[in-house]
Chains A and B, each alone.
Chain A
Amino acid sequence: MSENIKISVKDLDLYYGSFQALKKVNLEVAEHKITALIGPSGCGKSTFLKTQNRMNDLEKGVKIEGQLLLDNKIDIYKDIDAMDLRKRVGMVFQQPNPFPKSIYDNVAYGPRINGIKSKAKLDEIVERSLKQAAIWDELKDRLTKSALGLSGGQQQRLCIARTLAVEPDVLLMDEPTSALDPISTSSIEDLAQELKENYTIVIVTHNMQQAVRISDYTAFFLLGEMVEFGKTEDLFAAPKDPRTERYITGRFG
């Protein structure tokens, strides 16, 4: 395989005070692929996702050891400012969280903060981002309307557009469809498949079938440990670790 590694995680430990939430995690996130993180609640998968754009290292009591390399050279804890990192590694959350602003201003928010003032340039970014998020046709005639008036599925795609507006390399998605109905879920899944052409995606999901449907690679987490990592079709057809087998076949508990 000649895949590029976008993020490589080496011996990552994370502590919340005296509680160790991640234990020596090693993982390589392949570029232009979708990597799914699965595991029961509290297994550390969301904590792990958040380390990728430093959403948790400044929290009180959090201690992180190990290394996260972006593009095989940038140590994201040493070589890059958190703000710059988040331009390159964007996050989409479980609950759609549009700002109480217009659709246009939601998408233009990041580029404006980054100093882009030209109306023409912002128009272009808004259109491109909404198109990439497959929601331009639905919203192009109501860009000045409040984002809060949109449906849940539309809000989530708007949030994806907002993340894409700053042109990140990596999209982190934390259960992006768990608050959505099946139709909206399906459109976000299709969107993720399209976006991987240009972005690298890491997605946390509780929906195992979603991981099967959309991801190229899957990592199974349990009690802070990454138990198994492999091609999605291999991991779900013939898992190597009996703990993976028990979890994905619903034999835990």
Chain B
Amino acid sequence: MRHVFEEELNQLNKDMITMGSMCENAIQTATTYIRYQTADKNAEIVDIVEQINHKERDIENMCLKLIMQQQPVARDLRTITSALKMVSDLERIGDNADDIAEIVSMNNIPTADVEAIELIDMAKAANEMLSDAINSFVKRDDELAKKVIDTDDAIDNYFNNIKLKLAEDFRDSSHNLDSVLDLFMISKYFERIGDHSVNIARWVLYMITGTLEGNTN
């Protein structure tokens, strides 16, 4: 019974994991660019983001096909609808990483400015949030998903600290304002990556428990 459906759900699971690791790769690549100022216009991140976008389309098509063919209910329904929502957040994470790389490629940011703030730590924390969110999906681990949601405060703290520091730099007329603004943008993109990871974790929780946070019905 439902042999074909099970195989397709397994394939969906694998595709989600693949797309998740592509996004981790995108964040790590963008982080490397920041650290070593290596971004250029033909950067490998362009390829990664293109693959992410393709994967999103593939997964969306697969989910729509499964909804049409199987008219899923219960956990099947929750898995497929969650996957549909999660790929949007994953795709946004890819875009955010791409945006970061593009800013770095403009070569406005001296390494010393990067080191003066906790940007790399923030990047690592954002990457870990995404990684945990993907793992909570892979392992159907609701505790890990909750942890991701709680970790959002830590990312917000990084962002607020960085913002304060950059505001000081901004007032200091001797500072390179392009660098300040670019770093502010980059930190905002990492903060967004944290938010998207939280969204993913919420859908993982819904998939596992059937309850959607903030749903009052």
Contact = CB atoms under 8 A, between A and B. Distances in A.
Interface centre among B71, B75, B78, B209 (most CB of A within 10 A): B75
A237 interface: yes
A249 B71 contact: no
A253 B73 contact: no
A16 interface: no
Contacts of A244: 74
Contacts of A238: 74, 78, 209-211
Contacts of A250: 1-2, 5
A238 to B, nearest CB: 2
A140 to B, nearest CB: 37
A238 B206 CA distance: 9
B2 A237 contact: no
A74 interface: no
User: Which of A238, A239, A250: most chain B CB closer than 10 A?
Assistant: A238
A248 interface: yes
Interface in B70-90: 71-78
B74 A248 contact: yes
B1 A237 contact: no
Nearest to A252: B1
Contacts of A208: 73
A252 B77 CA distance: 17
A209 B69 CA distance: 12
Contacts of B73: 208, 212, 236-237, 248-249
A245 interface: yes
A237 B71 contact: no
Interface residues of B, number: 14
Contacts of B209: 238
A251 B9 CA distance: 14
Given A249-B2, A250-B1, A250-B2, A209 B71 contact: yes
Contacts, number: 35
A237 B210 contact: yes
A208 B76 CA distance: 15
Contacts of B71: 209
Given A237-B210, A238-B210, A249 B78 contact: no
A185 to B, nearest CB: 15
Nearest to B5: A250
A229 to B, nearest CB: 15
Interface string A192-218: 000000000000000011001000000
A251 B75 contact: no
Nearest to B206: A238
Nearest to A234: B210
B206 to A, nearest CB: 9
A237 B78 contact: yes
A247 to B, nearest CB: 9
A111 B72 CA distance: 45
Given A212-B73, A237-B73, A237-B77, A253 B1 contact: yes
Interface string A226-244: 0000000000111100001
A207 to B, nearest CB: 11
A248 B1 CA distance: 13
A237 B78 CA distance: 7
B1 A239 contact: no
Contact of B75 (A209, A245, A252): A245
Interface string A65-106: 000000000000000000000000000000000000000000
Q: Which of B71, B77, B78 has the most CB of A within 10 A?
A: B77
Interface string A15-35: 000000000000000000000
Contacts of A253: 1
Interface string B205-217: 0000111000000
Given A236-B73, A236-B74, A251-B1, 19 more contacts: A208-B73, A212-B73, A237-B73, A237-B77, A237-B78, A237-B210, A238-B78, A238-B210, A238-B211, A239-B74, A245-B74, A248-B73, A248-B74, A249-B2, A249-B73, A249-B75, A249-B76, A251-B2, A253-B1
12 contacts: A236-B73, A237-B74, A237-B77, A238-B74, A238-B209, A238-B211, A245-B74, A245-B75, A248-B74, A249-B76, A252-B1, A253-B1
Interface of B: 1-2, 5, 71-78, 209-211
